Amino acid sequence: MSQTPLAKNEEEILQDQHRIGFREFKRSKLSLFLSGLIAGLEIGFSVLLIGTLLTLFGNSLPEYWMRIMTSAAYPLGFILIIVGKSELYTEHTSLALLPVLTGHASLRELLQLWSLIISGNLLGGWFFALLLSWVGPEKDLLTTAAATAMTTPLLEAKWYVLLTSAILAGWLMGLLSWLAASVESSLSRILIIGLITFVIGLGHLHHCIVGSIEMLCGLYISKTITASDYLHFLAFAILGNTIGGALFVSILKYAQVHTDHPKPE
């Protein structure tokens, strides 16, 4: 009789995360960039679905129902990316740091890897936003009113609120990567992805890549956003997401495991 596999303990999860993170350092720069580009394109489908819901129901449903519906749409792009094994920056803020903490990679290599992935993510997202901004109004997928409603929550926050919100989003994304490594089945991973990214969407937490696409759609369609607004958002969102994933997941989880399971003398 087959037995149900036991759940991994924290040390096994850390080893898996370290192995995955270290493997990324061995990939070619072009491979990393292209994988990041694909992720930037794929995550745009979350924005497409959110924009379509706002276009179809934004004027007919109460705000709280719209918030729940758009939050339920938020996980789509993340599922496509994580199950499809593309590279998303907010996953690598925690993953790629582990080999640096163990001395198997340098800080310079880490910064280079992060730069390749986030530049690919942003370029892919820029292209998707450009495409959506062209076809969206033509196909009633994203109207001017919907683009404005989508970007308004990103613009209302003061810089320190934006930064804290981005830290929370990065923290959750780091936990997503940690929890996804603890399970074996694809269905369990999809449920974890869906739950965590639903919370990010429901809380209007600032995710640098999804938010970048949303802001660019607002810049191209609604004209209520300036390039300065976009750069302001992007700077604090990237910083906060990095802090959340690196500090509150990678460093603390690493410290926890090595405190519970110290290396023998």
pLDDT tens-digit map of 237-259: 999 999 999 988 888 888 887 67
- Most confident option among 51-65, 115-129, 144-158: 115-129
Domain boundaries, the chain: 10-259
* CATH superfamily to which 10-259 belongs: Glycerol uptake facilitator protein. (1.20.1080.10)
Residue 264 predicted with pLDDT over 70: no
| Average pLDDT estimate for 150-167 | 91
- Most confident option among 42-46, 56-60, 183-187: 42-46
Q: What's the Cα-to-Cα distance from 192 to each of 17, 42, 185, 243, rounded to whole Å? A: 16, 19, 11, 22
Residue 131 predicted with pLDDT over 90: yes
| Average pLDDT estimate for 127-140 | 94
- Most confident option among 3-7, 67-71, 181-185, 246-250: 67-71
pLDDT category at 261 given cuts 50, 70, 90 is low
In whole angstroms, what is the distance from residue 113 CA to residue 256 CA?
A: 25
| pLDDT over 70 percentage in the chain | 94
198 closest CA partner among 46, 93, 52, 48: 46
Confidence (pTM): 0.91
Residue 234 predicted with pLDDT over 60: yes
Residue 263 predicted with pLDDT over 80: no
Residue 2 predicted with pLDDT over 70: no
The predicted-structure confidence for 77-106, as pLDDT tens digits, reads as follows 999 998 888 999 998 778 888 899 989 999
pLDDT for residue 197: 97
179 closest CA partner among 158, 196, 159: 196
Whether the CB-CB separation of 94 and 17 falls below 8 Å is answered with yes
| Average pLDDT estimate for 103-125 | 95
Compute the mean pLDDT over every residue in the chain, rounded to the nearest whole number: 90
Cα 164 → chain centroid? 16
Whether the CB-CB separation of 96 and 21 falls below 8 Å is answered with yes
pLDDT category at 262 given cuts 50, 70, 90 is low
| Average pLDDT estimate for 172-197 | 90
Pick the range with the lowest mean pLDDT from 64-68, 70-74, 186-190, 237-241. 186-190
pLDDT category at 260 given cuts 50, 70, 90 is low
